[in-house]
Copies of this chain bind each other. A is one copy, B any other.
Amino acid sequence: MAVYTDITDEELAELLAGYDLGAPLAFKGIAEGVSNSNFLLETTFGRFILTVYEKRVAEADLPFFLGLMQWLSQHGYPSAAPKTDREGRILQRVRGKPCVIVEFLSGLSVRRPTVAHCREAGAGLAALHLAAQGFGMARANDLGQGAWASMFAPLTAEADALKPGLAAVIKGDIESLAARWPQGLPQGVIHADYFPDNVFFREGAFAGAIDFYFACVDFLAYDLAVALNAWCFEPDGSFNITSARAMVAGYERRRPLSEAERAALPVLAHGAAMRFFLTRLSDWRSTPEGALVKPHDPLEYERKLAVHRSSPDLVLFGAAG
């Protein structure tokens, strides 16, 4: 949950004065997003979400994220379309912070995805990769494979505190991933945070994706690997082959994988687990006691790393289906 910025009715009125969106009828902070504050805004013209960016989002990246969201909504992908003010601007400011008004995207995220959800989510991810083709902006993946060694350098003590001896294992993993990392796979814009809470369903069918604030250019199959980790592990830590197979099949319904992409899935999934382990470990360390937002447990991804380390072909059972 997250509402870090408090917007008064007067500030809202001032913001809306620049738009042709009618008069406000309702305005409520909502518990969604961790690096921004979100508000449900109902006006005489419709329903919207006001997103206020907090300091975790680099303002220089906002034109990429918002441009992507606009591009996707204009190219048939169900994502929340940013609204422009009367002068054609998307990005605004409120309380000195950047903000944007986007259309309300209906749909529900699922807590415990079924096999059917995984299939739908896979198809939705492929649709995103296809819809983003032709988008003219680029953003490097600053949390990608090339960054992991330097991300981990300040965290070795923290890793050993989490689990004695873990730092050496992680260091070995990072070196092994660097040696095995694929080259020349198809690249494009990826979501890079395609977790169940960022994907909406309506009556069981994929209905859209939100939270494009990690989007960047990287291997398309890496995005699928992130999703396999996020959607296909059971609460007990086991990898659900049936779910993974459904997710890959759903993806391939829209965008078939090349042989090289398919063969790379295990190392990509191992790497994707590393990326989330590292950011969670960093957030864990930097979160003060009693903070408002409880960080995700880095051990969840430490366990996923261990699964990929010990069963390097596991994900292929999913891809083989």
Contacts and interface: CB of A to CB of B under 8 A. Distances in A.
Interface of A: 1, 3, 8-10, 12, 23-32, 40, 42, 104, 106-112, 202-203, 289-292
A31 B32 CA distance: 10
Nearest to A11: B111
Given A28-B32, A40-B40, 17 more contacts: A3-B31, A8-B111, A9-B109, A9-B111, A10-B112, A25-B106, A25-B107, A26-B106, A26-B107, A26-B108, A27-B108, A29-B30, A29-B32, A30-B31, A42-B106, A289-B290, A290-B290
22 contacts: A1-B1, A1-B3, A1-B31, A8-B111, A9-B108, A9-B110, A9-B111, A12-B108, A23-B203, A24-B108, A25-B107, A25-B202, A26-B107, A26-B108, A28-B30, A28-B40, A29-B31, A30-B31, A40-B40, A42-B106, A289-B290, A292-B292
Given A1-B1, A9-B110, A112-B8, A30 B40 contact: yes
Contacts of A203: 23
A46 to B, nearest CB: 13
A202 B106 CA distance: 24
A43 to B, nearest CB: 10
A130 to B, nearest CB: 26
A8 B109 CA distance: 9
A129 to B, nearest CB: 25
